[in-house]
Amino acid sequence: MEEIQSQSDHYRSSSSSASSPASRVPAFNFFYLRKPGSLGQPISFEDSPEWEDTDADVRVEEGGGDSINAATTSVSPSLSKLNSGSLPSPHLPEGAAVARKIAGASVAWKDLTVTIEGKRKYSDNVVKGSNGYALPGTMTVIMGPAKSGKSTLLRAIAGRLPPAAKMYGEIFVNGARMHMPYGSYGFVDLETTLIGSLTVREYLYYSAVLQLPGFFSQKKSVVEEAIHAMSLGDFANKLIGGHCFMKGLPSGERRRVAIARELVMRPHILFIDEPLYHLDSVSALLMMVTLKKLTSTGCTLIFTLNQSSTEVFGLFDRICLLSNGNTLFFGETLACLQHFSNAGFPCPIMQSPSDHFLRAINTDFDRIIAMCKNWQDDNGDFSAVNMDTAVAICTLEATYKSSADTAAVETMILRLTEKEGPLLKSKGKASNATRIAVLTWRSLLNMSREFKYYWLRLILYMLLTLCIGTIFSGLGHSLSSAVTRVAAIFVFVSFTSLLSIAGVPVLMKEIKIYASEESNQHSGALAFLFGQLLSSIPFLFLISISSSLVFYFLIGLRDEFSLLMYFVLNFFMCLLVNEGLMLAVVSLWQNIFQSVLTLVTIHVVLMLAAGYFRIRSKLPGPVWTHPLSYIAFHTYSIQVDFWRTSI
């Protein structure tokens, strides 16, 4: 402890440029939303809910949407400051409806520990004994350097941990042990795959129909509310990811769309993993102001953040600071500044608080100091970053455990859990039939707009058909020409099936969209597989009839309508079976290289067992005849009865 104290004193002396905590608050302190004179107080309890005042009255309105009316909780100074107009407000479309009030929910976690095997080199405890809470109408941020356990803690609170993780401790929602049914909360992952060929309004509408029960027409008001809540009115009719020569949405608006997708359920609690991911400073501030406005509806917002600007930092109500899974602080944002000052690490006046926090607890800075220890800047030393990070972490952790902030958090958790409040209710799910219909129609729309999806494949199919047809044209009607025509049919079916593998990257994108929706229970495996397969039928039939008409007459098969339609339907079934095979393999591997390699191997084996290279009756019985020759769809395209009657 003497070594820690000595290094702490050394760091304190090296930061002589920092002034007192009160004077370190920037001049534009309206971003630090707190009452004057409250900086020294550890935590304020004035916005803690009383269950008697927050009972929700839920009723179902005409039009299918649920209206949740709740008595509004007493708002914090942060919220009242925001609503008073001190902060810049996002642009709202004219005539937009006022955001619907929802009944928020309190969340508290006690002694939360998460263990993931192999996640850490020296320890499997990714999160260690974390305590904290989040109240309705507030923003609670989980901050820390990379690999500090931020996302794991967020997922643990939301009940979204992977199967390999084990969680210890307790989580309470409205005073009851964790109970968050479907529709009561939303989770926005770090990487959310959107459908670029749809407009914002179309994408949110299909998402609403997938998530909510009822008729299609009843979801429009819900979609408009989500668009208004995320200030997407100016982008509602623009394509998300671009199409042909049209430019898509910027990254900030794409992130807003991902959040709006969860808002169509009107969740009581919203979890967001890195809402400012890949955003510039202006987009980040606009995003956080929008989210702050969202909390004014009563929603409980919990999210992770790597670092933020001073303006963004001032919008937070509470902060949970992590380092290597340990909680170094939990409390109000300005109290965190006081905590660092008390521990001997005052924030310099010209430095962002979040940058200062992460500088003190990020062990990667030790490597920078080691590399630059011989450098000197204009003032003689390299900045003043000469404190061992491990010592800083130990000092901050010890100071927090012995501070009034820790006792205040424990007291608040006790107050939130001593009495159960209203249980959150499930919103209900859309039926499987509805989901299949929606996914089918959405995929059809996507195919019609994406040139690379099927239209390019149609062009390639026609070019391949012309090549094969012209090579095997002018065969005549001799006996040997029959064998040549069988070879032409075999080459046509085999090569066009192999060409379908070019659609694997597109299927991979569809599966990523499905995985994102399935993780939030918006879709299911059965609905996705049926919807994807059904949506491919019209286009596969277009490919089969256009290619068959060219190929059939080029190789000189009999000019009869019934035989032509037999050939078309036969080829269509081959393409449909091949599409289902591709979908199954890509869903299994979810990797482009492995999927392509597997599909090529399967196609080669099926071609060998089709009965062309060796007569089917002469194939070895145990494997090649039964079952491979019957499984291979090439077999039915070159059957003897067909080509004899077609010559």
Average pLDDT value for residue range 507-532: 89
Return the pLDDT at 545: 93
Average pLDDT value for residue range 198-204: 93
Q: Is residue 384 predicted with pLDDT exceeding 50?
A: no
Amino acid symbol at 508: M
Backbone φ and ψ of 111, nearest 5°: 50, 45
* Nearest to 347, CA basis, from 356, 334, 339: 356
Q: Residue 617: which pLDDT band, with cuts at 50, 70 and 90?
A: confident
* Nearest to 290, CA basis, from 315, 324, 310, 264: 315
- The model's pLDDT over 388-446, given as tens digits with 9 standing for 90+, comes to 778 888 888 899 999 999 999 999 999 999 888 888 888 788 888 999 999 999 999 98
Q: Residue 283: which pLDDT band, with cuts at 50, 70 and 90?
A: confident
Distance CA 425, CA 428 (A): 9
Return the pLDDT at 177: 87
Which of the residue ranges 20-34, 70-84, 251-265, 354-368 has the most confident prediction, judged by mean pLDDT? 251-265
**Which of the pair, 429 or 244, is modelled with greater confidence?**
429
Tokens standing for residue 471: 């090579």
**Structural domains counted in the chain:** 1
Residue 48 lies in a domain: no
Distance CA 476, CA 484 (A): 10
Return the pLDDT at 481: 83
Percentage above 70 pLDDT, the chain = 76
Q: How many CB atoms lie within 10 A of CB 558?
A: 13
Query: Which H helix or E strand runs over 305?
Result: strand 300-305
Q: Is residue 456 predicted with pLDDT exceeding 90?
A: no
Return the pLDDT at 287: 92
Residue 139 lies in a domain: no
Average pLDDT value for residue range 572-577: 93
Q: Residue 163: which pLDDT band, with cuts at 50, 70 and 90?
A: confident
Return the pLDDT at 424: 86
Residue 525 lies in a domain: yes
Average pLDDT value for residue range 68-76: 34
Q: How many CB atoms lie within 10 A of CB 19?
A: 13
Q: Is residue 468 predicted with pLDDT exceeding 60?
A: yes
Residue 446 lies in a domain: yes
pLDDT averaged over the chain? Answer: 78
For 203-276, strand residue ranges (E) read 269-272
Q: C-alpha 230: how far from its chain's center? A: 17
Residue 626 lies in a domain: yes
Q: Residue 58: which pLDDT band, with cuts at 50, 70 and 90?
A: very low
Residue partners of 306: CB distance under 8 A and separation at least 6: 143, 144, 145, 146, 150, 274, 276, 358
- Contact between 408 and 330 (Cβ < 8 Å): no
Tokens standing for residue 323: 């380092």
- The model's pLDDT over 73-107, given as tens digits with 9 standing for 90+, comes to 333 333 333 333 333 433 444 444 445 666 778 99
Average pLDDT value for residue range 200-227: 88
Residue 315 lies in a domain: no
Q: Is residue 49 predicted with pLDDT exceeding 70?
A: no
Q: Residue 376: which pLDDT band, with cuts at 50, 70 and 90?
A: low
Q: Is residue 14 predicted with pLDDT exceeding 60?
A: no
Distance CA 49, CA 467 (A): 74
Choice among 50-54, 160-164, 346-350 with the minimum mean pLDDT? 50-54
Residue 373 lies in a domain: no
Choice among 38-42, 276-280, 370-374, 542-546 with the minimum mean pLDDT? 38-42
Q: Is residue 4 predicted with pLDDT exceeding 50?
A: no
Range of the domain at 518: 432-646
Average pLDDT value for residue range 177-181: 83
- Contact between 304 and 139 (Cβ < 8 Å): no
Residue 458 lies in a domain: yes
- Upper half-sphere CA count for residue 562 (Cβ side, 13 Å): 2
Return the pLDDT at 582: 93
Q: Is residue 32 predicted with pLDDT exceeding 60?
A: no
Return the pLDDT at 71: 32
Distance CA 71, CA 73 (A): 6
Residue partners of 389: CB distance under 8 A and separation at least 6: 360, 361, 362, 363, 365, 366
Return the pLDDT at 362: 76
- The model's pLDDT over 114-155, given as tens digits with 9 standing for 90+, comes to 998 765 554 567 899 999 999 999 999 999 988 888 999 999
Q: Is residue 646 predicted with pLDDT exceeding 80?
A: no
Amino acid symbol at 468: I
The reply to whether omega before 627 is within 30° of 0 (cis) is yes
Average pLDDT value for residue range 245-267: 86
